[in-house]
């Protein structure tokens, strides 16, 4: 083998090794991002599932009671009440905004999370198939991660807040209903179906 052929042969081998090394390094980056996006998608899906465990019918009934009882107390209460009744009426009133917001925004929160889940899935597929330039991919990854993490925080926070609101509501209901019966001849006022706005 002449030195010229040997040089070309060695140069070709070095090029092949360099090419393989750069592809391996690129695939490591690709794997890392795909795993990150897929993990984030799973966490977001779990957050949506947890959020959906809250029964919207139970929340609507609680909100209807809270709304009806507040309206009734505001229009029929003429005298002062005991400390226990006042505290429980205040507790019941304190959950109004949380229940209303849940009923108003529930479908929006779920829909926004599902869009984010699809975006993570699509981005992961684009990276697997290398359809994006590296800079473009990094920008999209940053945006989608930020949005997904925000959705996870919101869903977890809303789930926890709503469970707390329902607990406070359920604790205050017996005292409030007993008091309302004294104002209304022994029966509870007929429930008003509130408009959610």
- 84 within some domain: yes
User: Is 8 inside any structural domain?
Assistant: no
Please provide residue 185's backbone torsions phi and psi, each rounded to the nearest 5 degrees: 60, 35
Which of 62, 86, 37 has its CA nearest to residue 163? 62
pLDDT bin (cut points 50, 70, 90) of residue 197 is confident
Residue 139 to residue 129: CA distance in whole angstroms: 17
- Is residue 120 included in any domain, yes or no? yes
pLDDT category at 60 given cuts 50, 70, 90 is very high
In a domain, 112, yes or no: yes
Tell me if 194 is assigned to some domain: no
| Of 187, 168, 167, residue with least CA distance to 177 | 187
pLDDT digits (tens, 9 = 90+) for 127-141: 888 787 878 888 888
Q: In whole angstroms, give the CA distance from residue 135 to residue 26.
A: 13
Residue 125 inside a domain? The answer is yes
Position with higher pLDDT, 4 vs 120: 120
Nearest to 168 by CA among 105, 106, 96, 104: 96
Q: Could you list the residue range(s) of the whole structural domain that residue 139 is in?
A: 28-183
Q: Give the count of domains, the chain.
A: 1
Residue 176 lies in a domain: yes
Is residue 10 included in any domain, yes or no? no
Q: Could you tell me the pTM of the whole model?
A: 0.78
């Amino acid at each position: 083998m002449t030195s010229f052929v040997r040089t070309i042969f060695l140069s070709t081998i070095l090029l092949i090794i360099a090419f393989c090394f750069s592809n391996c390094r690129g695939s490591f980056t690709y794997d890392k991002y795909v795993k990150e996006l897929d993990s984030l998608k799973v966490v977001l899906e779990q957050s949506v599932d947890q959020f959906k465990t809250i029964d919207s019918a139970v929340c609507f009934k609680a909100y209807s009671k809270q709304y009806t009882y507040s309206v009734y107390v505001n229009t029929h209460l003429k005298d002062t009440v005991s400390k226990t009744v006042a505290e429980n009426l205040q507790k019941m009133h304190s959950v109004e905004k949380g229940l209303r917001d849940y009923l108003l925004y529930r479908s929006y929160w779920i829909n926004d999370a599902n869009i984010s889940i699809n975006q993570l899935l699509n981005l992961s597929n684009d990276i697997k198939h290398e359809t994006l330039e590296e800079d473009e991919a990094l920008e999209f990854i940053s945006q989608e991660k930020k949005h997904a993490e925000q959705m996870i925080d919101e869903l977890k926070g809303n789930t926890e807040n709503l469970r707390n609101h329902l607990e406070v509501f359920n604790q205050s209901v017996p005292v409030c209903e007993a008091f309302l019966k004294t104002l209304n001849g022994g029966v509870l006022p007929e429930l008003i179906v509130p408009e959610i706005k």
